[in-house]
Amino acid sequence: MRTTARRAVQAVCVLTTASLLAACGAGKERPSEDGTAVGVTDTTIKVGAHFPLTGPAAPGYSEIPSGHQAFYEYVNDAGGVHGRKIEMVVKDDAYNPTNTSAVTNDMILQDEIFAMVAGLGTPTHRAVVQRLNDDGIPDLFVSSGSLQWGDDPKKSPMTFGWQPDYEIEGKIIGKYVKENMPDAKVGLFLQDDDFGEDGEKGARQFLDSQIVDVQKYTPGGSTDFSPQMSSFKSKGVDLVLGFNTPSYTALSQIAAQGVGFKSKWFYSNVGSDPALVGGLLASMTKGKIPAEQGVKLMDGMMTTEYIPGVDAPEDEWVKLWQKVWDNYSKKGDEKLTNYRIYGMSQAYTFVQALQANGKDLTRESIVETLEKEGGSFEGPGLAPFRFSEDSHMGISGTSVVEIKNGASEPLTPVQVTDIGDAPIEEDDSAASDAPPSSGIPE
Amino acid sequence: MQQFLDTTLGGLVLGAVYAAFALALCLIWRSTRIVNFAQAAMAMVTTYIALSLINADVPYWVAFVAALAAGFGLGALIERVIIRPVEGKAELNAVILTLGLFMVLHGLTAITFGVQHRGFPAPVSTNAIEVGDTSIGITPFGILSIVVVAVVMAGLVVLFRFTDLGLRMRASAFNGEVSRLLGVRVGRMLTLGWALAAAVGAVAGMLIAGGDLVNPSFMDPFVIYGFIAAVLGGLDSPLGSVIGGLILGLSLSYVTGYVGEHLAPLVALGILMVVLLVRPSGLFAAAAARRV
Amino acid sequence: MFAVEELSAAYGPVKALNGVTFTAARGQVTAVLGANGAGKTTLLRTVSGLVRSTAGTVKLNGKDITRTATEKLTSYGLSHVPEGRGVIAELTVTENLRLGGLHRATGSEPMPVGRVFELFPRLGERREATAHMLSGGERQMLVIGRALMARPSVLLLDEPSLGLAPRVVSQIFDLLRGLVQTEELTVVLVEQNARSALSIADHGVVLNLGKVVASAPAAELAADEQLRHAYLGF
Amino acid sequence: MERLRSLLRPVTSVPLARHVLVALIALVVAMAVIGSSSQYLQTRYAEMAYFAIAAGGLTLLTGLSGQLSLGHGALMAVGAYAATLVLERAGGETLADVFLALLTAIAVCAVVGVVVGVPAARLHGPYIAGATLTLAVAVPRLANQWEALGGEQGLQVPVPRASELPAWIQDLIWFFTAVEIDQYSFLAYLGWLLLAITFVALANLSRSRVGRRWRAVRDDDVSAELAGIHLGRARVVAFTVSAMCAGLAGGLMAMNVRLTAPGAFTITLSLTLLAAVVLGGLGSLTGALIGAGVLAFLPHFATDLGESLGFSATQAAEVTPVVYGLVLMLVILLAPAGIVGSLRPLLARISSRTSSLGATKEKTP
């Protein structure tokens, strides 16, 4: 009996202690119920997102939330949206889908967010889409170009894309290559998940016969891509299309040089930021080259562009971002980068949606607003959103550019299309949208 | 054919680095009969120290020497403070202790230096060498890596075979009590063994980091690959460690190049199990069979 | 001269040495005898600091060396030769000998390895062999030779006859006797094989249960039949 | 009190009955705590339950049979994938699907446990550590080999819907807790129920002849062998039982995380499991439970602590592994018996003092 009692007492003690400890850890009050939905009060809106603040995808991408936060501060200081200030919770998932699932759980149950805004990554966000939709939580402007965010609104009614999806990017790149480099032997360098798969799908619409080799990598796996580059080299590849994240652009370049593989390179927009990749390259090569010189290592690479970036300081949008960044960047964050611009551009769209929604904000209403009005939002995007009841796909087009001295020089005008066999058409109409003078969407 | 050659050369460079790492494990095993599962984390710390210096515009080779010195000091410190109490105790204790050390060093580095991926420069070019107009799949940095490992290996051979200090260290490792009776300061020798091993590990870290991105996890694969290379050669034999490293490097390079990178750890596991179950004393150990 | 006074040591609660006192004169062999477990090996280990003494003193040429760190003793001229298995099996014969010469008595001349090979020609023949390949007798020669490399004035020998054939034992004892004379050594010889030990010893000390029960010239002990039967087993 | 004791004697004198009694009491308390917790805490309790099951298996292996496994993360992966594949095909929304999935996970892991356990039984110390560590790295990468396993981005796990549960369960839970069951509380209840069953089974096993054999092997394998214990067999059985626990834990983890991907089964997972059992005390099931509680709740405290020390969020997240590592080192250096082992003499003293009035047994020296 003594052992029995003692063991029972032990077990009970453990449990009680655990629950007590847990109770003090999670002892946050539920938000007041004044608002119309979870995460919304009369004066606040709480949103959240998962980003890779650490891990292999962190270079570049970890800067995106600071863009969001700067723009929300800017809006909040101007009185917020319908009297509500926007608060953003940012959680690190290290680009590991399992972590994404865990931190999303925390954001839903512990932080009680109203909506997920700009959660980043194809493999990562894929892990939580079902969950967010099951629980009826708006999942807006996913920071990824995978098709699954918007191609089936019936399956994922709460989820909306934002940037051009990888399929249309692949299509536009494919068409450009087919028309301008018809003899190129193309190698695909793909992230081994839906990201790479969607890009490949688009590119193959035009380049199926030109693709001679496909090599993949696992984010978080080996960082030595010599074997992949050797394979390209032995297959005689002279143009590589990369659907990969920025650090892998740098690593593939280093590996190519290491095995003496020479080629033209065409990286998807998400992996091509010259400042970031140039900086990484500079730090990895012989001796220490200043980052500015590292940017030169990117010269001649091709990529796509769908929002104006830091290389166009005279653009009205970039001027706005610069102004916001100058006033609202946190200490320690240095200069404005393309990733911060990306974040601010997304934040702009979110504020636009909140404005259009009006004062009565619910999880259903924001979705309805986007479906009804999102297609006509004017913003920094060079092409319009495709939001409607039948599609939750984001920006509908991009231009093809070549990188020179860290800046992009357009090779084509903005080309607009949609997934599937929709035709590719030139359409510059959205490229001339200008921000309102207040900088805050009306 | 070209690809085979490139893969082979890549495997040799990789193998040289595994060899250096296995050598470090072997040194510690010889002196204290402990497998140091924290070796990779220790090398990672010293590499970060070097990176901080390089980013402060210290010349590469000065930073290289600093990493070595830091490794030496770290190894000595760890042996004195943490390992000494478990020397000669149940072997499970030392295993758990070094695993704990691995986690602590990992986390502390992440807190101190941040978890971002950062570029690490190489002292010489990382571009393939060109002969005529074909390029071969080896870079000056790769050649340097092989040379450095060979020099370290030769240095250790000279130390152990031909110097009194080396003789003292070997004697302490093999029979502490008798060595003490002969006047050898055994404790100091064991500390020196760890220090040397950590310095060799630091060299390996520098070679792995060069021309690559580093983050606090960049050495993690070496926890297992270094161990496998060392076991392959028989944990006791420095020469065996080097050959074990080369074999493992080549095998993994072929697997990655022709089958898929994701299978590399599985193949490594297969190699390890075959060696442990079929030839437990390693492929090259002359010593009598040992218990695994 | 080497002297032990009232030396005591214990393993936990078990007293292994209980106030042992004796002296070993220069140029003589002093045999320490007794049955298994009498405390002979403990005596040597306590002198060397491998076992911590609880009381008493050890003096070497008048200098108190009680509780000196084991590593320092060779520099004072005291060499402890462990049992024959005390070769470092992984090192070669030459390496074992070199190791012995690294930490010599302070102020002494280094001894060339060749000198040991002169004393033990058998070792010279096997100089490059790894020690674990040696026979028992060769190992015993090696540990004695290795101890001599340190130029000791006092040599503590632990059971040199253990596990050796009688012929080899007498060979080694003869050598030892010769060394005492040529090198002016003080030898403390711990032996279970009392008959052989007394045959070369000048003086004998008999231990039982950690205490000295007799201390007398070797010839006297060998003649004391009662003592022999009670403690020495012959 | 005396009457109660005599009333209970038939129960308490049989180990199995005693274990069941303890488990029932603990389970009732657990249910009450879970029922009155927020959804967020319920997910933490569910996490604690599956960590405890895995740690229980590991502590049995390491503490009782003296074998170390750093590969339990890999075994959890096997269990998680097995359960996920079953749930995917079965629909995964009913209770029957859930149990089918978990049983499959256990069965598959039993097979894997034998396959791994046979060679592992021949290794010791650093060798088994290195080999199982390699296993922990290698196995999750298999997901990249077969498309059915979903590659790096993993497989989504269908989660049982609370509304699909049999009505009697819904009523039972409502009756006890006055709260409607939802999927969060369901997973927490399920986890604790299975935890209780697992621990009763493990406690019984360790008290049985099998358990005594394991201890004999751990303490002195040579004399155990001389005493006629088949060394290899005893070790393989221990490894298999332990693997089955890991499989069950993996299956539960899949349902809780709702995603099964290789990124979940890192070296760190295996090492934190080790930290849990070392912290609690090798061989102690209570210790495993405490260790699992630490695993489930510490990260949040440690992160908060780190942030209050002025670290950034990403730095603060690293405080947890530092704590685990320190725990491993300090326990080995200062208190090799772990928490429970170190407190045991203290507990024994207290209980012998309090019960000395009525106790008839002599005190143990």
Residue D348, pLDDT score? 64
State whether residue B180 sits within 8 Å of chain C by CB. yes
One domain for residues A341 and A215 = no
- According to DSSP, the β-strands at A239-243 and A186-191 are parallel
Q: For residue C155, which phi and psi values (nearest 5 degrees)?
A: -120, 120
pLDDT for residue D101: 94
User: Which region among A17-26, A273-282, C99-108, D90-99 has the lowest average model confidence (pLDDT)?
Assistant: A17-26
Q: Do D259 and A15 touch (CB under 8 A)?
A: no
CB atoms within 10 A of CB D325: 26
* A180 is a domain residue: yes
CA-to-CA dists, residue A441 to A353, A354, A363, C97, angstroms: 9, 10, 20, 89
Distance, in Å, from the CA atom of A204 to the CA atom of C224, rounded to the nearest integer, reads 107
The pLDDT of residue C173 is above 90? no
What average pLDDT does chain C have?
88
State how far the Cα of D38 lies from the Cα of B130, in Å rounded to an integer: 66
- pLDDT > 60? residue A19: no
Cβ of A230 within 8 Å of Cβ of B10? The answer is: yes
Q: Is the pLDDT of residue C98 over 90?
A: yes
Q: Taking a contact as any Cβ pair under 8 Å apart, which residues of chain B between 151 and 210 contact chain D? A: none
Q: Nearest-5° angle of CA C10, CA C13, CA C16?
A: 30
| Residue B262: inside a domain | yes
Full domain range(s) for residue A182: 166-305
Q: Which residue has the higher pLDDT, A28 or D124?
A: D124
| Per-residue tokens: D200 | 């009763």
Chains that touch D (3 or more CB pairs under 8 A): A, B
Q: How far apart are CA C65 and CA A152, in angstroms?
A: 89
Q: Which of A351-355, B88-92, C139-143, C186-190 has the lowest mean pLDDT?
A: B88-92
Helix (H), strand (E) counts: chain B: 11, 4
Under an 8 Å CB criterion, which residues of B touch A? 2-3, 6-7, 10, 14, 54-55, 57, 60, 115-130, 134-137, 139, 141-142, 211-213, 215, 218, 221, 253, 256-257, 261-262, 264
Domain that holds residue B205: 2-122+136-278
Backbone angles phi, psi at C103, to 5 degrees: -120, 80
The mean pLDDT value for A143-149 works out to: 92
Give residue-wise pLDDT tens across range B13-34: 999 999 999 999 999 988 888 8
Asked if D79 and D142 count as a contact pair (C-beta separation under 8 A), the reply is no
Gap between the Cα atoms of C173 and C160, Å rounded: 9
Q: For B71-108, how does the pLDDT look when each residue is reduced to its tens digit (9 = 90+)?
A: 999 999 999 999 988 887 777 888 889 999 999 999 99
D309 and B CB contact within 8 Å: no
What percent of chain C shows pLDDT beyond 90? 29
Nearest-Cα distance to chain C for B150, in Å, is 24
Tell me which architecture the domain covering C2-232 has in CATH. Answer: 3-Layer(aba) Sandwich (3.40)
With beta carbons under 8 A apart, name residues in chain B contacting D127: 231, 276, 292
Per-residue pLDDT tens digits of chain B, which is 292 residues long: 777 888 898 899 999 999 999 999 999 988 888 899 999 999 999 999 999 999 898 999 999 999 999 999 999 999 999 998 888 777 788 888 999 999 999 999 988 988 778 889 988 888 888 887 777 878 899 999 999 999 999 999 899 889 999 999 999 988 888 999 999 999 999 999 999 999 999 999 999 999 888 888 888 888 889 999 998 888 888 888 899 999 999 999 899 888 877 888 889 999 988 888 887 777 765 544 344 4
Q: Is residue A84 part of a domain?
A: yes
Taking residues D192-203, what's their average pLDDT? 92
Contact B182 C74 (CB under 8 A): yes
pLDDT band of residue A17 (cuts 50, 70, 90) is low
User: pTM here?
Assistant: 0.85
**What residue of B is the nearest CA neighbor of A63?**
B116
Kindly give the pairing relationship between strand A44-51 and strand A264-267.
Answer: unpaired
What CATH number should be reported for the domain holding residue A287?
A: 3.40.50.2300
Same domain? A279 vs A338: no
Does the distance separating the beta carbons of D9 and A98 come in below 8 Å? no
What's the number of CA atoms in the CB half-sphere (13 Å) around residue B169? Answer: 25
Within A110-146, where are the H helices? 122-134
Q: According to the 3-state scheme, what is the secondary structure of C138-203? A: HHHHHHHHHHHCCCCCEEEEECCCCCCCHHHHHHHHHHHHHHHHHHCCEEEEEECCHHHHHHHCCE
DSSP code of residue A385: B
Asked if the structure places residue B288 within a domain, the reply is: no
The fraction of chain A above a pLDDT of 70, given in percent, is 90
pLDDT on residue A155 = 92
The more confident residue out of C227 and A423 is A423
Do residue D138 and residue B268 have CB atoms under 8 angstroms apart?
Answer: yes
- Give how far B270 is from chain D: nearest CA, Å: 10
- C-alpha torsion angle, residues A346, A351, A352, A355 (rounded to 10): 170
Q: Other C-beta atoms within 10 Å of D69: how many?
A: 30
| pLDDT score recorded for residue B149 | 93
Task: Say whether A108 sits in a helix, a strand or coil.
Answer: helix
Look up residue A344 and give its two tokens.
């601010």
- Residue A31, SS3? coil
For residue A184, pLDDT beyond 60: yes
Pairing state between β A397-404 and A415-416: antiparallel
Q: How far apart are CA B218 and CA A282, in angstroms?
A: 19
Q: Measured at the alpha carbon of residue D39, what is the angle toward residues D35 and D44, in degrees to the nearest 5?
A: 90
Please give the pLDDT value at position A32: 39
| B185 close to C (CB below 8 A) | yes
Whether the Cβ atoms of residue B231 and residue B244 lie closer than 8 Å to each other: yes
| Number of domains observed in the structure of chain A | 2
CATH of the domain at B113: 1.10.3470
Q: Mean pLDDT over residues D33-57, rounded?
A: 90
**Confidence class for position A33, pLDDT limits 50, 70, 90:** very low
Residues near A426 by Cβ (< 8 Å), separated by ≥ 6? A412, A413, A414, A415, A416
Whether A157 and A183 map to the same domain: the answer is no
Q: Of all residues in chain D, what percent carry a pLDDT higher than 70?
A: 88
Contact D152 A218 (CB under 8 A): yes
List the structure tokens of D57. Answer: 């298996």
What are A410's strand-pairing partners? A401
Could you tell me if residue A33 is inside a domain? no
Which amino acid would we find at residue A303?
Answer: T
- CA R_g for chain D: 21
pLDDT at D359: 34
Residue B4 burial (C-beta neighbours within 10 Å; 0-12, 13-18, 19+): middle
Domain limits, chain C: 2-232
Q: Which two tokens stand for residue A104?
A: 């999303």
Structure tokens at A255: 């590996």
Q: What is the mean pLDDT of the segment spanning D123-145? A: 87
Segment A253-306, tens digit of pLDDT: 988 988 889 999 999 999 998 888 888 888 887 766 666 677 788 889 999 999
pLDDT in tens, A194-209: 899 999 999 999 999 9
C202 touches chain B (CB under 8 A): no
Residue A150 is assigned to a structural domain of this protein: yes
- Residues A300, A197 share a domain: yes
Q: What percent of chain D has pLDDT over 90?
A: 25
Q: Is A249 on the interface with B (CB under 8 A)?
A: no
Phi-psi region of C12 (alpha: psi -120 to 50; beta: other; left: phi over 0): left
| Token pair of C164 as six digits | 């050796």
Is the pLDDT reported for residue D214 higher than 80? no
Whether A102 sits inside 8 A of D39 (CB atoms) is: no
DSSP three-state, residue C135? coil
pLDDT at D349: 62
State the average pLDDT over residues C97-117. Answer: 90
Instruction: Determine contact: B170 vs chain C, CB below 8 A.
Output: yes
Kindly state whether residue A341 falls inside one of the protein's structural domains.
Answer: yes
What pLDDT, on a 0 to 100 scale, did the predictor assign at position A8? 53
Ramachandran region, residue C212 (left: φ > 0; alpha: ψ -120 to 50; beta: rest): beta
